[in-house]
């Protein structure tokens, strides 16, 4: 299936920005991120620090590779795999009844406990990464196409940020309204 290149490129840019932002959070607070990885209790202690160091490098490299047309077909499935892996880690801990741990997705300044809504969010991000992996229809892209790509990415990122903010603050909002 061949989609319009605008959709494929906008999807790639959106996922790249999200992965780059996630990597930046992890680079800014490596000790905190290592503690978050350890809290998931999915790895032997000996591997926690190594994985905590490698994940942001992998996210940043994948984000960069998503932006280049020649590497996008390889980077997009890798991005989808990373996002699916994160969803699996969240899902496994929810299944274990461990919903009090920080998901590690809100950055070092804000804790966000894991919850089922994060599975839906990550599923949508996996879908977006898979769209970025598709071969686009061959056609010339003009200046207006570039504008549409940037606008579509910006709108998608704003929706993502709004949804993520609501997810992060929902426990406080529920307390505020007495639920």
Residue-wise pLDDT for 69-103, tens only, equals 999 999 999 999 999 999 999 999 999 998 888 88
pTM of the model: 0.88
Q: For residue 161, give both structure tokens.
A: 């940020």
| Residue 36: pLDDT over 80 | yes
pLDDT band at 170 (very low <50, low <70, confident <90, very high): confident
Check if the beta carbon of residue 153 is closer than 8 Å to that of residue 21. Answer: no
Residue-wise pLDDT for 119-146, tens only, equals 999 999 999 999 999 987 777 877 887 8
How many Cα atoms are found within 13 Å in the side-chain-facing hemisphere of 64?
7
Integer Cα distance of 91 and 123 in angstroms: 11
| Cα dihedral 97/98/103/109 (nearest 10) | 140
> Where exactly are the structural domains of the chain?
5-176
Q: pLDDT value at position 1?
A: 64
Taking Cα atoms as reference points, which of 62, 66, 167, 77 lies closest to residue 121?
Answer: 167
């Amino acid at each position: 299936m061949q989609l319009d290149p605008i959709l494929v490129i906008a999807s790639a840019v959106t996922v790249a920005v999200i992965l780059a932002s996630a990597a930046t959070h992890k680079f800014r607070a490596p000790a905190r991120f290592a503690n978050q990885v350890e809290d998931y209790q999915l790895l032997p202690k000996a591997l926690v620090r190594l994985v905590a160091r490698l994940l942001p490098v992998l996210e940043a490299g994948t984000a960069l590779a998503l932006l280049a047309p020649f590497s996008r077909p390889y980077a997009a499935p890798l991005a989808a795999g990373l996002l699916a892996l994160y969803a699996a880690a969240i899902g496994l801990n929810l299944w274990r009844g461990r919903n009090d741990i920080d998901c590690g997705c809100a950055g070092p300044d804000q804790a966000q406990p894991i919850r089922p809504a994060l599975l839906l969010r990550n599923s949508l991000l996996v879908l977006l990464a898979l769209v970025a992996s598709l071969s686009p229809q061959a056609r010339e892209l003009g200046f207006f196409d570039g504008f549409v790509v940037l606008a579509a990415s910006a709108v998608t990122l704003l929706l993502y940020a709004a949804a993520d903010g609501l997810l992060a603050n929902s426990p406080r909002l529920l307390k505020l309204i007495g639920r």
